[in-house]
Amino acid sequence: MLRKLLAAAFVVVLAPSIAFGQAVITGTVTDGDGEPLIGANVVIDELVIGSATDLDGRYTFEVPAAQARGQNVALRAKFVGFSPQTRVITLNSGTQTQDFVLTFDRLRLDEVVVTGVSSATPAKKLAFTVDKLDASKVELAPAANAVQSIQGKIAGAQITQASGQPGDGVAVRLRGTTSLTGSSAPMYIVDGVILTGGLADIDALDIESIEVVKGAAASSLYGARAQNGVIQITTKRGGNIAFNQTRVTVRNEFGSNNLQFSDFKANEAHDLLIDANGNFLNQDGVKNTCDTCLASGYGPGVEIDRLSGTDTPVSFYDNPYSASGALTNNFDEFFTPGDTYTNYISVSQNSAKTNFHASFTNFQEGGILPGMDGYNRKSFRVNLDHRISDDVQLSTSTYYAGATRDVPRSSGFNPFFGLMFTNPLTSLSRRDDNGNLLVQADPLSVEENPLYVIENVDTEDRDSRILGNARLRYEPTDWLNLEGNVSYDRRDSDFLRFADRGTESIDPSNFNDGQILRSNTISEALNADLTVSLQQTFDQLTARGQFKYQAESTDFITQSITGNTLTSEGIADFSNVNGDKIVSSNERTIRLDGLYATGGIDFADKYIADVLIRRDGSSLFGAEERWQTYYRVSGAWRVSEESFYPFGDWMEEFKLRFSQGTAGGRPGFEAQYETFTLSSGQLSKGTLGNAFLKPELQTEQEFGVEMGIMNRISASLVYANAKVEDQLLVVPLPGYFGFGSQWQNAGTIESNTIEASLDFNVFSDRNKSLDIGIVYDRTNQEITEFNTNPYKTGPSSAFYYRNGETIGAMYGIHFLTDVSELAEQTLQDGSAATTGRGVPTGFQASAFQTNDDGLLVPVGIGNSYTDGFAKGLWGNRVDVDGDGDGDMLFGMPIKEVNDEGQNFQQIGDVLPDFNLGFSTNFSFKGFSAYMLWNAQVGGDIYNFTKQWAYRDGRHQDQDQLGKADGDKKPAQYYEALYDATAVNDWYIEDGTYLKLRELSVGYRVPRQRLQSWFGNSIAGLSVNLIGRNLLTFTDYSGFDPDVGEGSDATLFRFDGFEYPKYRTFTGRVEIQF
């Protein structure tokens, strides 16, 4: 009896394991052609169990008996670039086979975005524009600066690198200008960290994706910081590699930097007296001599070779420097190729509960200047995701970068400025008897030798950057999740300038007795948020909602000390300072609290709606305007999902969408406060405070159409209209206020943008593919309200703000180009005059001609502009009204005077007619070739670098050698155009260009061949030749038409002696283990 009872108990205990034994799931994952997808993941998410496919596309994994209880579960197969597939299976003991055939997502409809939305959302269900670049596009030719990766690839994104100096950041504008006084920089987010210190320190090699939100219609989720748009970068976390595998990637890239325009040169002729032997003569007609003179006598004391005109002497740059000695191209001597290299190693792992990615990068960019180390950045990254339990997940991201940078220009010295004023007889590398470079290589130059500046003034930046993020997610049910997020961003920037005792300068300077300057700037931001998200499906309706509270705290600390007059040479320490030390410091703290609620519905995958409301309170707002409200309303209709849709056979996706939203632009720290200046013990008032100061407010409407054609073409067309009210402007105040001005909300600007994007998969099969991408955009923008006095702004005050003005219009002096511009007008005082200054009334049109430079000049009655030499007219006044008197100097340019008696008028507009990007990516078996072309059509540039060169006769335009006498212009002609650097239209140039921005040609060894060579020890091997900024086709006469300067380099297209941009050639080898 006892044995029967024991037997029965044994059966009862073992029955569950007999009924529900271990389950084995196996099968294959292939593409539409039956080819295996190697490394595809097949997973049961709710059990956190899965596996990856092998070389044959086969997978197998086991479900423990305790978890295989006959229940239904979702089995999901996913592979990068393919639409995921999910099927419901019943988990019973034993083996079951589940094969998947995944569809290549050419149109990227299932691609998920996370920026601007409350939760991860497939692109096909978006009601506004969120552009995305994944790693496959970023890694083709990785840029030194992460954000440069979007240039020419995303419509409406304008990227301008104001300076080519290694380590410098870039200026970014998304769609139209949003602020007349603030920056155009968008809000940057990297792995959940809201950045305060820019992107220059962020490594681009770990990027998983870049998402771009371009206007308030989509960026409202981010409130008062987001009117310039949002760029979010997500880095690799190991979650996309095959399950239960570890991947090690080693990448090395090496190459060189060099200047693209190597034929740039200065004027090779002069207007000085020389004898038959090429010796320079003084006023006595004998060879000039002086302590600093060259062997030919060139130097102080030389005499100008003038023609004696009746009214003014003139001279010509037609005496060759080559008659006096061998010539040196100082541009070639100054700009020398530098090395660039990148060393990168990463380790990634993906398992059921944990995935991580860790990497190290060593990046060096030498630049193109001799004796400069350029920029070096070493960075470390660790990203980790861990599932603590079935419903709790922890994610962390950590990044550290340390960078050093040689800085060629410093206060008082700009080597690029001095380079323009050196004659070709002089070598910049010429040294004295002691082996020292000459501070004044050109004895007549008033600018320091640029090589002397680089060699004798040490200027260095040292930066360190720490980013950290921790996110805890709790999902108690399938319809509710709670998330907490904390992020940290700190940037330390140390700047050192050391000019040793005895440093020379042409004019007396604080550097002469030695100077040390050291400054430190710290920016530190701490952000935290709590989020509650809900989502539930009711038959065909999916509803979602989200509530978030966010707190931000940002601190800025700057300290600086300058010491003049050093006791001893060679000691860069403040204990060596014998003179006074000047100390300054600045400290700012910014706080922001924000909260939002958003909700959305998706009905039958056809009708999509989204609403959002956000409230932000900021310490930057005036005391009476501390809280501001933002909103978004958007909707989309996927017409192609309707039963009546007639074009499904060839246009499988057709979506209409609209969104309207608001976002803000914050005032500067000091704008709301009263400011004072303390000088010599005297306190003077600056700006009056404003407790009612609000942030700028952008309201944007966005209309979009998206199409997917024949599963090969993805196209979108977007029209965005933006209005930015409450522009922050400094408004002059009447004297009785006691303050000169006040920051006020005093203007409105409006813009509209058209964007078009097209991705075309021309063909693709297992051996070959060709993809083409095209992006187009065009923007118009205008000031529609301006409640203060019009004023000049930007570099050299070349830009003008007033009501009704185009944003980007340049104003200055216009030189007449046609006799029709000389029509008589009546001035405001009622007197008669003409538009040309100094042109008498009653002039005869035949007394003026347009010369070969396109400028209208007086030639006198019966003369031609080519008669200057033949008739001895240069330097003499000629008769232009028939009365026989000499009225105007022959051949000289004429400034226009408008109907108000002023010569200030619009002379240019920086806005292009349109921008275009064109890319191709071709592959054949293991070979690949990729190109990215970028074009700007229209838009003006002010060439200030050229204008300054006119001052000393150094620009190649002024070279009169080889010209017929009738075509020669005197030095005084070019002095009139130089016009003491007054802004004028002679230096306005067309900014149209076509650039080959990126090129990559490579070969990836097939996986099967690697296996036959190395077994399973090497998983991937590729080699590439890469070029960046390779070719530029343009009529612009400067180094590069892609220039800018000032507070917004994308708007102020001004060329002013910056480090020129260069091209880069590199070779890359990448091995994966």
pLDDT per position as a tens digit, 713-745: 999 999 999 999 999 999 999 888 889 999 999
The per-residue pLDDT for range 237-263, each reduced to its tens digit, is: 998 888 888 999 999 999 999 988 656
DSSP string, 112-123: EE-SSSSS-EEG
DSSP string, 964-989: -GGG---HHHHHHHHGGG--BGGGEE
Residue given tokens 């769609």 in the structure block: 175
Is 292 strand, coil or helix? coil
- On the question of pLDDT at 868 being above 90, the answer is yes
Min mean pLDDT across 43-52, 397-406, 520-529, 978-987 is at 43-52
* Residue 100 confidence class, pLDDT cut points 50, 70, 90: very high
Q: Report pLDDT for 835.
A: 52
The per-residue pLDDT for range 898-922, each reduced to its tens digit, is: 666 678 899 999 999 999 999 999 9
Q: Report pLDDT for 411.
A: 63
Mean pLDDT of 104-110: 73
Q: Are 1059 and 405 in contact (CB under 8 A)?
A: no
- On the question of pLDDT at 50 being above 90, the answer is no
The per-residue pLDDT for range 304-348, each reduced to its tens digit, is: 988 876 788 899 999 999 999 899 988 888 889 999 999 999 999
Q: Report pLDDT for 18.
A: 41
Q: Are 971 and 953 in contact (CB under 8 A)?
A: yes
> Would you state the torsion angle of the CA atoms of residues 131, 136, 137, 140, taken in this order, to the nearest 10 degrees?
170
CA 673 to chain centre: 32
d(CA 763, CA 761): 6
Is 551 strand, coil or helix? strand
Mean pLDDT of 830-855: 76
The per-residue pLDDT for range 428-443, each reduced to its tens digit, is: 998 988 999 999 999 9
- On the question of pLDDT at 15 being above 70, the answer is no
**Two tokens at 642?**
């309707």
Q: Report pLDDT for 14.
A: 40
Q: What residue type is assigned to position 678 of the chain? A: L
Q: Are 800 and 790 in contact (CB under 8 A)?
A: yes
- On the question of pLDDT at 362 being above 60, the answer is yes
Mean pLDDT of 375-401: 95
Residue 588 CB-density burial (10 A; 0-12 exposed, 13-18 middle, 19+ buried): middle
The per-residue pLDDT for range 612-666, each reduced to its tens digit, is: 999 999 999 999 999 999 999 999 999 999 999 999 999 999 999 999 999 999 9
Q: Tell me which residue of 175, 179, 177 sits closest to 754, measured CA to CA.
A: 175
Domain 20-101 belongs in CATH node 2.60.40.1120: yes
Mean pLDDT of 201-214: 91
Q: Which residues contact 97 (CB under 8 A, 6 or more apart)?
A: 26, 27
Q: Tell me which residue of 177, 220, 183 sits closest to 750, measured CA to CA.
A: 177
Q: What residue type is assigned to position 489 of the chain? A: D
Angle between helices 971-978 and 944-951 (to 10 degrees): 140
* Residue 754 confidence class, pLDDT cut points 50, 70, 90: very high
Q: Tell me which residue of 490, 447, 498 sits closest to 469, measured CA to CA.
A: 490
* Residue 67 confidence class, pLDDT cut points 50, 70, 90: confident
Q: Report pLDDT for 825.
A: 45
Would you say the C-alpha torsion 884, 888, 892, 898 has a positive or negative sign? Answer: negative
* β-pairing verdict for 245-259 and 269-270: unpaired
Residue given tokens 């004998």 in the structure block: 286
* β-pairing verdict for 94-97 and 23-30: parallel
Mean pLDDT of 177-190: 94
Q: Which CATH superfamily is domain 112-246 in?
A: TonB-dependent receptor, plug domain (2.170.130.10)
Q: Report pLDDT for 39.
A: 82
Is 672 strand, coil or helix? coil
d(CA 731, CA 847): 48
Q: What residue type is assigned to position 323 of the chain? A: A
Q: Which residue has the higher pLDDT, 119 or 502?
A: 502
Instruction: Please calculate the CA angle 765-110-706 and round it to the nearest 5 degrees.
Output: 95
Min mean pLDDT across 405-414, 704-713, 929-938 is at 405-414
What is the Cβ-side half-sphere exposure of residue 475, based on CA atoms within 13 angstroms? 14
- On the question of pLDDT at 6 being above 80, the answer is no
Q: What percent of the chain has pLDDT over 90?
A: 66
The per-residue pLDDT for range 1005-1042, each reduced to its tens digit, is: 988 888 888 888 888 999 999 999 999 999 999 999 99
Domain coordinates in residue numbering, the chain: 20-101, 112-246
Q: Report pLDDT for 842.
A: 80
The per-residue pLDDT for range 447-469, each reduced to its tens digit, is: 889 999 899 888 999 999 999 99
Residue 221 CB-density burial (10 A; 0-12 exposed, 13-18 middle, 19+ buried): buried
Q: Which residues of 84-181 form beta strands (DSSP E)?
A: 85-90, 94-97, 100-101, 112-113, 121-122, 131-134, 157-160, 171-174
The per-residue pLDDT for range 809-842, each reduced to its tens digit, is: 999 999 999 998 886 543 334 344 455 556 777 8
Mean pLDDT of 980-1004: 96
d(CA 905, CA 899): 11
**pTM reported for the whole predicted model:** 0.90
The per-residue pLDDT for range 1038-1068, each reduced to its tens digit, is: 999 999 998 899 999 999 888 999 999 999 9
Q: Which residue has the higher pLDDT, 936 or 67?
A: 936
